[in-house]
Structure 1
Amino acid sequence: MTASDPATAHPARPRACERCAALSVAEIGKDRLPTRKVREIAIDVRDAHGQRLLTASVSMQIERIHSPLK
């Protein structure tokens, strides 16, 4: 998934880039991860020249524990 927002993807504002990417990937994950079709979502933030500034990712793992007492 690629999104472009020149106002936030600027190397002079790395914390703003990081926060925006983290909020975006969390919001996308909230809707997609529970469906079990997707287990990991990642967003690359790039500058105007296409250079990757950072990657934000979120993943979910469900581990079922089977109890002998049922």
Structure 2
Amino acid sequence: MFAHGNVVILESHASGKTLRSYHGTAEGIGGRGIHAQWKVNVRGFGVIALQNQHTPSHWLAIRDGATIANV
């Protein structure tokens, strides 16, 4: 799923809502549209950078399952 170049949608098991980038912030109230679609960039050493498909300048970085950056 987190292979380089894949586009993913992250959904919470608890709420059923997706993570989206909207108005410059990451929020967990999204649907399945382009705001909730993230392109996977594998950086190595357990780091995955997710690039938002609606706003390519918005990134979310995850290392070993924990968020390390939201740009």
TM-score > 0.5, shorter chain as reference? no
Bigger helix fraction: 1
Bigger strand fraction: 2
The TM-score normalised by the length of structure 2 is: 0.30
Considering Cα pairs closer than 8 Å and 6+ residues apart, tell me whether 1 or 2 has the greater RCO. 1
Which structure: larger Rg? 1
